[in-house]
Amino acid sequence: MPHIALPEGLPGISAGFAFRPETAKPMRDLAHILLHEPNSLTPGERELIATYVSSQNDCFFCQASHGAAAACHVGSSEIVQQVKTDFESAPITPKLKALLAIAGKVQQDGKRVSAADIGEAKAHGATDIEIHDTVLIAAAFCMYNRYVDGLGTWQPRDEPMYVEMGKHLADQGYQQSSR
């Protein structure tokens, strides 16, 4: 049961958003820019970063919904699973692996990111904006994940629901509610 009286029937972050539309607006806008708007990183790559960080933070709702969005973009739920369990052996580019290494360090603590981590990403072609956005996606999911778990939101074990949600997110982005 949620820790506060959230609207019923809305899973995960949707309930927090419906409870407090004033904060929902900038949180939706931020996710939309980071994950959906045009970027030299594909939406699939950015959703994989969000899914990986949510998995490291053990947030069921966020890793299920963003994992589904990522699967929709990359056309494979297997790759999503591999990125969560062992991204170094996943069939993704060396650049994305270097960015995931940075994201994993940000998830623990921003100060863990080293000049060597950045050098590795740049050696594989990452731009400054891509590195910036990777750091901010990882940091932002340390917020979204804590928000979803910290309110004790309802996080149903309902795979078809996340598949549907993932399609909607992959198609429409984050500015409008998926329900």
Partner 1 sequence: MPHIALPEGLPGIRGAMAFRPETARPLNELVEVLLFGPHTLTQGERELIATYVSYLNDCHFCQSIHGAIAAAHLDGDEDLVKRVKSDFQRAAISDRLKALLVIAGKVQRGGKNVTAADAEHARSLGATDVEIHDTVLIAAAFCMYNRYVDGLGTIQPQDEAMYRERGKVVARHGYVEGSKDYLPAEAAAR
Q: Which stretch binds partner 1 (CB under 8 A): 30-38, 63-71, 75-83, 161-169?
A: 30-38
Q: Are the beta carbons of 152 and 1 closer than 8 angstroms?
A: yes
Q: State which of residues 113, 163, 165, 169 lies at the interface with partner 1 (CB under 8 A).
A: 113
Q: Which stretch binds partner 1 (CB under 8 A): 43-51, 55-63, 69-77, 87-95?
A: 55-63
Q: State which of residues 110, 171, 176, 179 lies at the interface with partner 1 (CB under 8 A).
A: 110
Q: State which of residues 10, 18, 101, 118 lies at the interface with partner 1 (CB under 8 A).
A: 118
| Interaction mask 128-147, partner 1, x per CB under 8 A | xx-xxx-xx-xxx-xxxxxx
CB of 37 to partner 1, least distance (A): 8
Phi, psi of 138 (to 5 degrees): -60, -45
Full 3-state SS string of the chain: CCCCCCCCCCCCHHHHHHHCHHHHHHHHHHHHHHHHCCCCCCHHHHHHHHHHHHHHCCCHHHHHHHHHHHHHHHCCHHHHHHHHHHHHHCCCCHHHHHHHHHHHHHHHCHHHCCHHHHHHHHHCCCCHHHHHHHHHHHHHHHHHHHHHHHCCCCCCCCHHHHHHHHHHHHHHCCCCCCC
CB of 91 to partner 1, least distance (A): 27
How many residues bind partner 1 (CB under 8 A)? The answer is 51
Positions in the binding site for partner 1 (CB under 8 A): 1, 3-5, 16, 19-20, 22-23, 25-27, 29-30, 33-34, 37, 57-59, 102, 105-107, 109-111, 113, 115, 118, 128-129, 131-133, 135-136, 138-140, 142-152
